[in-house]
Structure 1
Amino acid sequence: MMPIPAKTRYTYLLLVLALFLLAIPGAMAQNQELALAREYFSKGEYQKAEAIYSKLINDERLFSVVYPDYLKTLLAQNNHKDAEKLVKRTIKRYPGQINYNIDLGTVYQAAGDKAGAEKHFDKLIAQLKPEEVIVAASVFVQHELFDYAEKTYLRGRELSKNPYEHNRSLIALYTFRQKHENLIGEALNLLQENESELIYVQNMLQNSMQDEKVMDALEKELITRVQQYPDLLAYNELLIWLYIQRRDFYSALLQARSVDKRTRSGGTRVMELGAISARNQDYQGAIEAYEYIIKEYPDGPYYLIARQRLIHAREEQVENTFPVDLDKIRTLITDYEALLAEVGRNAQTVEVLQHMANLYAFHLDEKDKAIALLQEAIAMPRAKPDFVAESKLTLGDIYLLKGEPWESTLLYSQVEKSHKETPIGHEAKLRNARLNYYKGDFELAQAHLDILKLATSREIANDAMDLSLLITDNTGLDTSTVAMEEYAAIELLIFQNKLDEAQNRLDAMLQKFPGHSLTDEIYFLKASIYERTGAFDKAIASLEKVVSAPADILSDDALYKMAYIYEENLKDTQKAQELYNQFLVKHQGSIFVAEARKRFRNLRGDAPVVN
């Protein structure tokens, strides 16, 4: 190949540059015209915009930019004839572009020809090729023609002869449109095709879980499919997940046990459900979970921890059944001692020592025994640092129980320092904040609480926020903190189990500070003392004072607690059902809604029957 002379190359470059420079003014002028047309359109001067667009539309280079704006301009003037002509010319010009065919249907709709639009869209969908389905559906969605997007995906499914084709797209569409019945069917079909899609299905269904009827429908369909496809474990897992969303932990446990018996999977899922039940105060469910593990897997890896958690769940159940039965407390200590005799006092049983100490100190008033057990736990060789820290926190609580707050704050501060930026460290800081609150040092308490509001643990952050609001709401507008100091001191008395003295001082507060902002808190605290001592009628009377007061932050707590006492303690299920229903109507944003709904359904008799 002959080399190109340097002079020729130079001449060629000059020519290209000249052509480029000549094109710039034209391009700039067109851009200016486009900007002007858009400005006219934004101001509603459609005729001026149309005049510019009608000229620019013939420029092939600008067509894709001008066309959509030109069409909008014509439709804005109700100039449907010219809009139709524009789209038809465009279809003729670009016959393979589905979006222009859909534009034609939107023009018919804009002109009021609904029948013509429907006929056009249906014909278009019927003639689609498999490779055109996704594009057509996305264009329909852009035009908010969701029914036609759905028809397009279903047509694509017919063409592919695959009953699961476009499954995810339909799920997304049904989720957005809140077509819950269709969503349930598609979601469960997707799981039937691919069990690994479980997390995706849960995420897509999550948005629909606010509607009780949707949850009922999903539960009914899932139970049917679990029976139809017993080997498809994803259905079982989804049903367990649904029960957890509904706070129906017992039904979730029954389902998990059923799966475990079929798969003999070592009890992992049952252990998880036991822990979830315990965290959510469903102690009977937790007890049955751990009893199952102990019975079914005596040689399994969870046996020891199940033994320990079983006693702990019973402990929680006894401590939250008022008035607390001290004979049952002693039985729990005996059970813990039997466990220690079986497995030894070692690093693995430090938590057992903690629980025994708690029972001795807070229920049997044997503080010295409790302190000795905790000191043993803290000194245990090879004990996990977290267990040692928890033992120190409990020991700090017992010193506070004894009236030695300086020892308490020393222990809390040790844990704060050794476990910085961890949940245990945050818990230690919260206890220090509460200790300062008890002493009436609200400024120092708030300094701790302001940090804890940002804690990663939602529970600690919420507790910090609640205490901070209590202080702020009842000291902010009044330079005097006398009432708040007295209230905080009474809370310390309750912590120290000096309930009679606390009740008397609360009554004195009502006399001394009539109409104070703390009044509702005082009645709520009185109710909690009455509940602990078994005076349930008096508890109800105090709670009614809170519920009947003008809208207050505690009104949902009080109404829920009333319903709970009627159900669990007074055994008046009709009154409990009435109050739960009242609660669900009045307090739809409360954190107790899910639990109240579950209890209401159980009392009404429409709780599910789970095989």
Structure 2
Amino acid sequence: MKSLILFVLFFNSIILFSQNKINEANSFFYKKEYSKAVEIYKEIEKENLTIIYNNYLKSLFKLNDHTTANKIINKQIIKFPENPIYKIDKGYFFIVKNKKEKAYNIFNKILQNTDNYKKNILTNTANKFLEIKEYDFAIKTLQKGIRKYPNVSMELNIANIHRQKGETEEMTKKYIEIVKKYPEKKQRVLNIFQNIFGRDGSQQNEKYSTLQENLIKELQISNNKDILDMIIWTYMQQYEFDKALKYSKIADKKYTQYGNKIFEIGLIVKENKEYETATKCFEYLSKNYKEYKLLSELEIIKIKREKCKKSICGKEELKKIDLQYQNFIQEYGANQKTYYLLKDYANFLAFNYNNPDTAVFILNELKKVTLDNIFKSECNLSLAEILLKTNKPWDAIKIYSELERDFKNEKIGHLAKFNKAKIYFYTGNIDWAKAHLDILKLATSKLIANDAMKMSLLITDNSNLDTSYDVIIMYAKAEYYFVKKEYEKSIYTLDSIIKGFPSHSIKDEIYLLKSNIYIEQGLYDSALQELDKIIKNHYYDIICDEALFKYAEIIEKKHNEEEQAMEIYNKIITDFPNSIYAQKARKKYRKLRGDKDL
């Protein structure tokens, strides 16, 4: 009994010693100290080759010790003659020795035997080919696997290999084939495309064009609804909203009940300020879907109100919009279905029709009657904005603080926090503003996070020369004047900064803000002068792409200088390919060039 215990203890100590040595060798391997790793692997090779094989072999290849590498490969082939992984390593050995023909003979024999492999061995074999960058053999292995064990996982792997090879055409065709065979994987494939292609940049645009062409070809052959959905999605990703609407109408006629999708598209297009296409979306719904008539016509009025924000609307135009709201309220009454209509009418009165008192009354009444906390919070957001614009910033902060507390980890709470930060900024509390903005950089809403980042950069980039914040406080005051539509005060303050601090880094932001003021006043030539200062003197600053885009829009729409506008749009595409304005510029450029739909 005693001798048995001693034997067990001795055996365990050997195992423990080996494991410690393996861990030590692996540690050197992961630190890329291959010589030290090999030295230990050789000590423990006899009893542990299968365990240490992968890291040992890689280390040997790194050290160009091909003789030892070949020996351990042969040992494993003799020990496991049916395992294709070791045979692939043998083939890789021949590739390293510039004997590709021998390697490919081995690989082809492996392919001939794949009919005998189980599913997991087939997958491992394909992965091994991938590891040594023999992509075609990996694809052939997976194709054989699919014939024997049909499954979406192997299909996705093939598409991914085409991606790794840079074969956009083959990759897109494979993903399209997957969606046809496995419709439930459509969203996953779309997510993959979005991760691969992104949304901006000329190279990504070319990839989307390849995808669109293949999808349209497939649609003509198969008339498949999922393919049609994907076409619409690609155009939405590329901000080609008019084409997305065109194909949505086709989908609606073919498959009916596509109204919800068209409404969603309309809202996205409106958010991107493509008002003409958004209006077409809602007009189509109003005409063809009774259940969307009220919502769509309300959105059309909202668009008219938004357009008045972007350009000067005369009294007659505003009266027409006011009358449309009143007619809607008379037709549909004041009830739960029309609460959003009434809220939007209040926003129109406050921000377009210069009647904030009536707006505040309507919003407060809506808060009393609604049981919907989200709707109530939206009313509060509108109330706070009215208070801010009527020179009551601290009353607005109270509302934003309540919303931030009640919706702490939700988008409304983040929006309230961001608006509160803006008020601190406008009122000269720069440190408080920055503290809020730094937190919001991590917000789940990308739009809020980006806006917070932009505003935070405005503070930090323009505070280096002025630690007392004097200039940034003056600029913030000018921006608050702009928000309140006190344009003369805003211009005077901005000009005072330029006179008092002629070399300050904030000058480009001043020119941009002045251009926005002039645009709101309809003084487009003055706006062009300010934008030109950014383009000529601050071309490599962060806001130049925005300045170029606004300059091009003005000369296109207000001066009808389409040729010059095209040149500027093309400049944005080439000089700022990763800018959010690059895709918008590309769309404008194509439209002016007269491109036809695919």
TM-score range (shorter-chain normalised) is: 0.7 to 0.9
After TM superposition, list the pairs within 5 Å mapping 1:185-196 onto structure 2.
185-196=173-184
- 1:207 partnered with 2:195: yes
In structure 1, give the amino acid aligned to 2:94. Y
* Structure 1: unaligned runs, 5 residues or longer: 1-10
User: Which residue does the alignment assign to 1:334?
Assistant: 323
Q: Give the C-alpha shift of residue 527 in structure 1.
A: 0.8
Counterpart secondary structure, 2:197: coil
- 1:281 partnered with 2:273: yes
- 1:354 partnered with 2:343: yes
Bigger mean CA deviation after superposition, 421-430 or 261-270: 421-430
Bigger mean CA deviation after superposition, 250-259 or 402-411: 402-411
Bigger mean CA deviation after superposition, 113-122 or 82-91: 82-91
> Does the aligned pair in 2 maintain the 1:249–1:277 contact within 8 Å?
yes
In 2, Cα distance between the equivalents of 1:431 and 1:76? 57
> Does the aligned pair in 2 maintain the 1:126–1:155 contact within 8 Å?
no
User: Which residue does the alignment assign to 1:4?
Assistant: none
In 1, Cα distance between the equivalents of 2:449 and 2:409? 13
After TM superposition, list the pairs within 5 Å mapping 1:145-184 onto structure 2.
145-157=134-146, 160=148, 166-184=154-172
In 2, Cα distance between the equivalents of 1:429 and 1:535? 34
After TM superposition, list the pairs within 5 Å mapping 1:339-418 onto structure 2.
339-379=328-368, 381-382=369-370, 384-416=372-404, 418=406
> Does the aligned pair in 2 maintain the 1:415–1:424 contact within 8 Å?
yes
> Does the aligned pair in 1 maintain the 2:430–2:469 contact within 8 Å?
no
Instruction: Select which of 279, 284, 293 maps to 1:303.
Output: 293
User: Which residue does the alignment assign to 1:478?
Assistant: 466
User: Which residue does the alignment assign to 1:549?
Assistant: 537
After TM superposition, list the pairs within 5 Å mapping 1:259-270 onto structure 2.
259-265=251-257, 267-270=259-262
Bigger mean CA deviation after superposition, 416-425 or 137-146: 416-425
Counterpart secondary structure, 1:207: helix
- 1:255 partnered with 2:247: yes
Q: Give the C-alpha shift of residue 102 in structure 1.
A: 0.9
Structure 1 residues 23 and 554 mapped into 2: Cα distance closer, same or farther (>3 Å)? same
> Does the aligned pair in 2 maintain the 1:439–1:489 contact within 8 Å?
yes
Q: Give the C-alpha shift of residue 503 in structure 1.
A: 2.6
In 2, Cα distance between the equivalents of 1:454 and 1:73? 42
Q: Residues 457-497 of structure 1: CA distance to partner in whole angstroms, max 9, x if unpaired?
A: 33333333333333333345424444333322222222222
In structure 2, give the amino acid aligned to 1:209. F
Q: Give the C-alpha shift of residue 587 in structure 1.
A: 2.1
Counterpart secondary structure, 1:129: helix
Counterpart secondary structure, 1:517: coil
In 1, Cα distance between the equivalents of 2:393 and 2:26? 73
Bigger mean CA deviation after superposition, 32-41 or 20-29: 32-41
In structure 2, give the amino acid aligned to 1:346. N
Instruction: Select which of 536, 550, 565 maps to 2:554.
Output: 565
> Does the aligned pair in 1 maintain the 2:384–2:400 contact within 8 Å?
yes
- 1:312 partnered with 2:298: no
Q: Residues 146-188 of structure 1: CA distance to partner in whole angstroms, max 9, x if unpaired?
A: 232123223445x649798931220232233332111111111
User: Which residue does the alignment assign to 1:104?
Assistant: 90
User: Which residue does the alignment assign to 1:122?
Assistant: 108
User: Which residue does the alignment assign to 1:293?
Assistant: 285
User: Which residue does the alignment assign to 2:209?
Assistant: 216
- 1:512 partnered with 2:495: no
> Does the aligned pair in 2 maintain the 1:350–1:383 contact within 8 Å?
no
In structure 2, give the amino acid aligned to 1:319. K
After TM superposition, list the pairs within 5 Å mapping 1:31-110 onto structure 2.
49=39, 53=42, 59=46, 61-65=47-51, 67-68=53-54, 71=57, 75=61, 80=66, 83-84=69-70, 86-88=72-74, 90-110=76-96
Structure 1 residues 65 and 546 mapped into 2: Cα distance closer, same or farther (>3 Å)? same
In 1, Cα distance between the equivalents of 2:206 and 2:28? 50
Q: Residues 436-458 of structure 1: CA distance to partner in whole angstroms, max 9, x if unpaired?
A: 33232333433443444444333
In the alignment of these two chains, the number of paired residues is: 587
In 2, Cα distance between the equivalents of 1:192 and 1:73? 44
User: Which residue does the alignment assign to 2:201?
Assistant: none
Counterpart secondary structure, 2:196: coil
Structure 1 residues 466 and 49 mapped into 2: Cα distance closer, same or farther (>3 Å)? closer
Structure 1 residues 72 and 440 mapped into 2: Cα distance closer, same or farther (>3 Å)? closer
Bigger mean CA deviation after superposition, 396-405 or 161-170: 161-170
Counterpart secondary structure, 1:592: helix
User: Which residue does the alignment assign to 2:482?
Assistant: 494
- 1:113 partnered with 2:99: yes
In 2, Cα distance between the equivalents of 1:543 and 1:428? 31
In structure 2, give the amino acid aligned to 1:324. C
In 2, Cα distance between the equivalents of 1:77 and 1:378? 74
User: Which residue does the alignment assign to 1:237?
Assistant: 229
Q: Give the C-alpha shift of residue 360 in structure 1.
A: 2.9
> Does the aligned pair in 1 maintain the 2:35–2:63 contact within 8 Å?
no
In 1, Cα distance between the equivalents of 2:38 and 2:332? 90
Q: Residues 257-305 of structure 1: CA distance to partner in whole angstroms, max 9, x if unpaired?
A: 221222222611111111211222222222222222211122x3x3332
In 1, Cα distance between the equivalents of 2:58 and 2:97? 13
Counterpart secondary structure, 1:478: coil
User: Which residue does the alignment assign to 2:429?
Assistant: 441
Bigger mean CA deviation after superposition, 474-483 or 171-180: 474-483
> Does the aligned pair in 2 maintain the 1:326–1:363 contact within 8 Å?
no
CA RMSD, aligned part only?
A: 3.3
Q: Give the C-alpha shift of residue 216 in structure 1.
A: 0.8
Q: Give the C-alpha shift of residue 523 in structure 1.
A: 0.7
Structure 1 residues 382 and 23 mapped into 2: Cα distance closer, same or farther (>3 Å)? closer
Structure 1 residues 340 and 90 mapped into 2: Cα distance closer, same or farther (>3 Å)? same
Instruction: Select which of 572, 579, 582 maps to 1:583.
Output: 572
Q: Give the C-alpha shift of residue 393 in structure 1.
A: 3.3
> Does the aligned pair in 2 maintain the 1:178–1:208 contact within 8 Å?
no
In 2, Cα distance between the equivalents of 1:489 and 1:363? 22
User: Which residue does the alignment assign to 2:520?
Assistant: 532
Instruction: Select which of 179, 202, 219 maps to 1:226.
Output: 219
Bigger mean CA deviation after superposition, 347-356 or 556-565: 347-356
Larger radius of gyration: 1
Q: Residues 355-413 of structure 1: CA distance to partner in whole angstroms, max 9, x if unpaired?
A: 3233333333333443443344344x235333333333333433443434454444444
Which is bigger in relative contact order (C-alpha 8 A, separation at least 6)?
2
Q: Give the C-alpha shift of residue 342 in structure 1.
A: 0.9
Q: Give the C-alpha shift of residue 130 in structure 1.
A: 5.1
In 1, Cα distance between the equivalents of 2:23 and 2:349? 81
> Does the aligned pair in 1 maintain the 2:562–2:592 contact within 8 Å?
yes
